[in-house]
């Protein structure tokens, strides 16, 4: 299922949707429960949950959690979103970049693949800023090299 939103207008009357249209797709394994957009936003669908008791969940945009940032000026390491399943009774935190790539690009070719942010900023989880890569390829791109090993005598 694909839902588009050409959305609101700014104070100057220019529509934000004119710049780029937001496209929503359902997350595999969470169909009918959660969707993700090409802008990196995750939303919960309106539904009725049956756990210990029956409750109604309204549709809303979920809050992203920034991990790895501390008060010492270190940049954010990853951004996750918490997805919960009342029927099973558990929840899981999933990296937003990985979700974006799984939904819009598909499974990676390499089992060691990770979500790579082209501009290096994990807070910018837009689809045009993401690609599958490996830790070694990212390290080479940044100019890191493994330490030389010397033979022991």
Tally of CB atoms within 10 A around 144: 10
Which residues 6+ apart lie within 8 Å of 125 measured at CB? Answer: 39, 40, 64, 79, 96, 97, 100, 117
| Chain mean pLDDT for the chain | 80
Q: Sign (positive/negative) of CA torsion 94, 99, 102, 103?
A: positive
Which range of 4-13, 32-41, 50-59 scores highest in mean pLDDT? It is 32-41
What is the spatial distance between Cα 99 and Cα 25, in angstroms, rounded to a whole number?
Answer: 11
User: Tell me, what's the pLDDT at 1?
Assistant: 53
What is the spatial distance between Cα 83 and Cα 43, in angstroms, rounded to a whole number?
Answer: 10
Model confidence over 14-47: pLDDT tens digits? Answer: 445 445 789 999 998 888 889 999 999 999 999 8
Separation of first and last alpha carbons in the chain: 64
Quote the percentage of the chain above a pLDDT of 90: 29
Domains of the chain with CATH codes: 2-142 (3.90.75.20)
Distances, alpha carbon 84 to alpha carbons 31, 69, 111, in Å: 13, 24, 25
């Amino acid at each position: 299922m694909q839902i588009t939103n050409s959305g609101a207008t700014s104070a100057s009357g220019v529509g934000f949707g004119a710049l780029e249209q937001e496209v929503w797709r359902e997350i595999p394994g969470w169909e009918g429960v959660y969707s993700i957009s090409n802008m990196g936003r995750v939303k919960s669908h309106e539904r009725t949950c049956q756990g210990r008791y029956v409750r109604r969940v309204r549709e809303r945009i979920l809050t992203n959690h920034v991990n790895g940032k501390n008060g010492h000026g270190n940049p954010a390491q990853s951004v996750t979103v918490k997805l919960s399943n009342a029927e099973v009774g558990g929840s899981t935190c999933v990296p937003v970049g990985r979700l974006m790539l799984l939904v819009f690009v598909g499974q990676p070719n390499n089992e060691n693949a990770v979500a790579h942010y082209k501009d290096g900023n994990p807070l910018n989880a837009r689809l045009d800023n993401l690609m599958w890569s490996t830790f070694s390829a990212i390290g080479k791109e940044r100019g890191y090299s493994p330490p030389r090993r010397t033979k022991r005598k």
